[in-house]
Amino acid sequence: MPVKTFMNEPVAGQSVEGGTPAGWVSLEFARLYDEHSRAIFYLALRFLGNPQKAEDATHDVFLKAFRRLDQFRGEASVRTWLYRIAINHCQNLCQSWHNRNIHASSDDIVFEAAVAKTDSPLRALETKELGQRIQKTLDALSEEYRLLLLLVADEELSYEEIAALVGQSSDAVRGKLHRARKAFAAHFEKTV
C-alpha cells in the first residue's frame, strides 16, 4: 500500500502497513486547514446561510477529518474528501434544524459589508436584493440541484470532482446540472 499523501507530500508519521496517522504532525494538519478552510467555510455558508453556523461547521468538518484520517484512502483528492465530509455534515445540520428561515442574519451581514465596500448605498441595496433572490431561488430547488449548482458555481469543481462527491458518473452530473440550471432560471424569473 502506498503512503497516503496530502498536498503532494507524505503525511508525517503515516505508517505504510496500517494506514493510520500514528505520529501526525500538527503542522501538516494546520497546512491542510490553511489550504482548504476558506472553501469549506463558503460551502457551509451556502448550505447554512449563517456565518457563525458556517464557521462552527467548518471547525466540525476539520475535527471530523482529523479523527478520520485513517479512512482517507487516497482515491480522491484531499479537497474532494473534505468536501464530502462538509456536505454530509451540513446536510445533517439542516435536517436537524426545524426552522430553516436563518438567512436574514447573514443577509444583513452581507449587506453591511457591501455598503462598507461601495460608495453607493443604492448599489449595495441592489446587491442585497439580488442575493436574496438568488437564495430564494436556490431554496426553491431540490436539495440535489442546489448542491450541484453550489459545487460547480461557488466551489468551481470539475464535473469529475463533483461526480466523485455525489457518487454518480460525470455524464449524470452534466445532465443533472443542465436540468438544475434550467430549473434555477425558471424559478429566478418568478422571484421578485
Average pLDDT (129-133) is 83
* 76-96: pLDDT as tens digits: 788 888 999 999 998 888 876
Residue 99 pLDDT exceeds 70: no
**Dihedral sign, Cα of residue 19, residue 59, residue 163, residue 10:** negative
Which pTM value belongs to this model? 0.62
Cross-strand partners of 10 = 5
Residue 88: all three cell numbers together: 454530509
* 165-185: pLDDT as tens digits: 888 999 999 999 999 999 999
Domains of the chain: 1-99 (1.10.1740.10)
pLDDT in the model for residue 6: 45
Average pLDDT (102-131) is 62
Residue 148: all three cell numbers together: 450541484
Is the separation of the CB atoms in 21 and 69 below 8 Å? yes
* 43-84: pLDDT as tens digits: 898 888 889 999 999 999 999 998 888 788 888 788 888 999
pLDDT bucket at 104, cuts 50 / 70 / 90: very low
Q: How far is CA 129 from CA 26, 32, 95, 136, 191, in A?
A: 43, 36, 27, 10, 11
pLDDT in the model for residue 61: 94
What's the chain's length in residues? 192
DSSP string, 111-130: HHHHHHH-S-HHHHHHHHHH
* 149-162: pLDDT as tens digits: 888 876 678 888 88
Element (DSSP H or E) covering residue 153: none
Sorted by sequence, the CB contacts under 8 Å of residue 179 that are 6+ apart come out as: 145
